Amino acid sequence: MLEVSFNSPQCGWMSIGFEDGVNEFHTTTAHAPHAAALPELMKILTKLADASSPENEFLLKWNRDPEEFDFRFLRNGEKLTIEIYQYPTDERDSNERDLVFSHEGTVGMTCAAFGETFDQLYADRDTDEFEFNWRQPFPYREYEEFRNRMN
């Protein structure tokens, strides 16, 4: 079972983690230059949760500075594979990337795991001063669309 954690942002950085009992990956991510990474992640998961959506493969770019990450999502029927690749620099040379995490599960269970951490970010957004600490607004519209698709 996949566990996803996105901790409260601090000074433009957010600690994230993925565990499934076999594989584990933890890192920090930055709010820039991929400023739309968090809302884009919510959009991707919303589309993946929609069985009638024709798109089955997505690539999300995120960074840690100087390291860069690609989060690859591949839906095959009810199965969903997540792969996280790390690049040593922002050049994204595919010959230098490392697969640092992979997980295969169902679309529903995977989206639910992300949903738990999104709900926690949403619940703590005022206490954690999300906008100040992440240096960008909370993605309300994308969060609501994700929640609506999940319900």
What's the CA gap between 129 and 104, in Å, rounded? 34
Split at pLDDT 50, 70, 90, the class of 111 is very high
pLDDT in the model for residue 93: 86
Q: What is the mean pLDDT of residues 107-116?
A: 97
Q: Given this model, what pLDDT does residue 90 score?
A: 81
Answer whether residue 115 shows pLDDT above 90.
yes
> Residue 97's Cα: distance from chain center in Å?
18
Mean of pLDDT over the chain: 95
In tens, the pLDDT along 65-104 reads: 889 999 999 999 999 999 999 999 888 888 899 999 999 9
Containing 84, the helix (H) or strand (E) segment is: strand 79-87
Question: From residue 73, how far is each of 11, 31, 55, 61 by CA, in Å?
Answer: 28, 21, 10, 12
Taken in order of first residue, the domains within the chain and their CATH numbers are 3-150 (3.30.2450)
- Span 15-60, pLDDT tens digits: 999 999 999 999 999 999 999 999 999 999 999 999 999 999 999 9
When pLDDT is averaged across residues 125-143 and rounded to a whole number, the result is 96
Q: Which residue has the tokens 């929640």?
A: 147
